Amino acid sequence: MSVSTPSSIKSPAASAGLFSLPVIVAALGYFVDIYDLLLFGIVRVPSLEDLGLNAEQISTVGTNIINWQMGGLLLGGILWGVLGDKRGRLSVLFGSIITYSIANVACGFVADVTFMDPTTYYAGMRFIAGIGLAGELGAGITLVSESLPTNKRAIGTSLVAGVGLFGAVVAYFTVKLFDWQMAFFVGGGLGFGLLLLRVGVVESGMFTNVTKQEGVSRGDFLSFFTNRDRFVRYVKCIGIGLPTWFVIGILATFSNEFGKAFGIAEKIQPGLAIMWCYVGLATGDLASGFISHAMESRKKGVALLMAIALVGSLVYLYAGISSPTMVYGLCLLMGFGIGYWAMFVTIGAEQFGTNLRATAATTIPNMVRGTVILMTSLYGYLKPGLDVVNAGAVVGLICFVLGFYSILTIPETHGKDLNYLEE
- Tell me, yes or no, whether 344 lies in a domain: yes
Residue 163 has pLDDT above 50, yes or no: yes
Give me the pLDDT at residue 90, please: 65
Give me the pLDDT at residue 1, please: 41
Alpha-carbon separation of residue 364 from 25, 81, 356, 369, 393 (angstroms): 22, 9, 12, 9, 24
Residue 265, class by beta-carbon neighbours within 10 Å (0-12 exposed, 13-18 middle, 19+ buried)? exposed
Least confident of 53-57, 181-185, 193-197, 212-216: 212-216
Residue 327 has pLDDT above 60, yes or no: yes
Q: What's the domain range around 192?
A: 13-196+220-415
Q: Which residue has the higher pLDDT, 209 or 337?
A: 337
Mean residue pLDDT of the chain comes to 82
Residue 129 has pLDDT above 60, yes or no: yes
- Tell me, yes or no, whether 8 lies in a domain: no
pTM for this prediction: 0.74
- Tell me, yes or no, whether 87 lies in a domain: yes
Section 28-48 average pLDDT = 83
Looking at the chain, the whole-number percentage of residues with pLDDT higher than 70 is 84
Least confident of 109-113, 211-215, 356-360, 368-372: 211-215
Residue 4 has pLDDT above 70, yes or no: no
Section 206-222 average pLDDT = 55
**Tens digit of pLDDT for each residue in 216-225?**
555 567 788 8
**Tens digit of pLDDT for each residue in 355-389?**
777 788 778 888 888 888 899 889 989 998 899 99
Section 132-160 average pLDDT = 74
Q: Which helix (H) or strand (E) holds 4?
A: strand 4-6
Give me the pLDDT at residue 11, please: 42
- Tell me, yes or no, whether 211 lies in a domain: no
- Tell me, yes or no, whether 18 lies in a domain: yes
- Tell me, yes or no, whether 420 lies in a domain: no
Count of domains for the chain = 1
Residue 143 has pLDDT above 80, yes or no: no
Looking at the chain, the whole-number percentage of residues with pLDDT higher than 90 is 28
Q: CA-CA distance, 19 to 364, in Å (whole number)? A: 26
Residue 260 has pLDDT above 80, yes or no: yes
Residue 14 has pLDDT above 60, yes or no: no
Produce one character per residue of 169-180: b if its CB has 16 or more CB atoms within 10 Å, e if not. Answer: bbbbebbeeeeb
Residue 127, class by beta-carbon neighbours within 10 Å (0-12 exposed, 13-18 middle, 19+ buried)? buried
- Tell me, yes or no, whether 394 lies in a domain: yes
Task: Kindly indicate the confidence band of residue 342, based on its pLDDT and cuts at 50, 70 and 90.
Answer: confident
293, 23, 348: which is closest to 151 by C-alpha?
293
Give me the pLDDT at residue 311, please: 96
Residue 60 has pLDDT above 90, yes or no: no
Output the domain CATH number for residue 393.
1.20.1250.20
Give me the pLDDT at residue 310, please: 97
46, 251, 2, 31: which is closest to 136 by C-alpha?
31
- Tell me, yes or no, whether 359 lies in a domain: yes
Least confident of 25-34, 79-88, 170-179, 252-261: 79-88
Section 278-291 average pLDDT = 84
